Amino acid sequence: MPAARYDAIADFYCEHWATTDDPGTGALLDLAGPVAGLRVLDVACGHGRLSRELALRGAQVAGVDISAALLGRAAEMEQDSPLGISYARADVTAADALRQGRFESRSFDLAVCNFGLSDIDDLSPAIATVSAALRPGGWFVFTILHPCFGGATDISGSWPRGGRYYDEGRWTPADGKSGLRRQVGASHRMLSTYLNTLREHDLWLDHVAEPEPEPGWDPAHGADRQPVFLAARCRKGPVADPAC
């Protein structure tokens, strides 16, 4: 299994991303809707901040991540305050990812991924795993940094400074206010790549949200005048043509 970039910065990540009150996560939860009684797979769950919120809302949650360090933190919180969450270490880009996590195919009502897709180098097999995990008619909801966010003063955008939106690939920013991405980098993809990959794996776009950043979020630097976050909900299986 590949090494996890987050293992080396687990302390930093857990300290700075401890709650679910940011606009991107809020948009994901809104799109997910009521989850009580649903079986939910949290992809790239990290230390379980979203997993725990979903469990508190009544979902039966399984979290999967490649970082042993972050999963260790998630397991500690589950032990201290049990919510019935199960965690598994697996590489979601692997062909046998579901077997690694001991998950059955077509067994989840909902899959979520909160800002994790840009940490995954190979998107298509990861989305294939998500699709395989969902029952027919199930939902996939995710949040990412908006692929069209060009950055602002000392804040990295979705692609390198001096680069172009059209040039996809992994990169590492140097901007001072992008403390996380300076350490783990990010994979930039065009919006069309995300949408076409979802469609390729039978995940059909149902709803999109572009939540504004928090009030006063660096307005002097122009970051609040362009899209920053993107949240989307997709359904597993073809969507009926209303004209038919």
Residue 36, pLDDT > 60, answer yes
Helix (H, G, I), strand (E, B) or coil at 41: strand
> How far apart are alpha carbons 43 and 116 in whole angstroms?
8
Contact 57, 20 (CB under 8 A): no
pLDDT of residue 242: 46
Region 49-62: mean pLDDT is: 98
Q: What is the pLDDT of residues 184-213, one digit of tens each?
A: 989 999 999 999 999 999 999 999 999 988
pLDDT of residue 175: 77
> How far apart are alpha carbons 127 and 123 in whole angstroms?
6
Contact 136, 237 (CB under 8 A): yes
Task: Estimate the share of the chain in helix, then strand, then coil, as percent rounded to the nearest 5.
Answer: 35, 25, 40
E strands, the chain, in order: 39-43, 60-65, 86-89, 108-114, 134-145, 169-171, 186-188, 203-209, 229-236
pLDDT of residue 222: 65
Region 59-67: mean pLDDT is: 97
Q: What are the chain's domains?
A: 5-236 (3.40.50.150)
Higher pLDDT, 235 or 150: 235
Region 75-89: mean pLDDT is: 97
Percent of the chain with pLDDT over 90: 75
Which candidate, 145, 157, 118, places its Cα nearest to that of 230? 145
pTM for the model stands at 0.93
pLDDT of residue 244: 40
Q: What is the pLDDT of residues 228-240, one digit of tens each?
A: 999 999 999 965 5
Percent of the chain with pLDDT over 70: 93
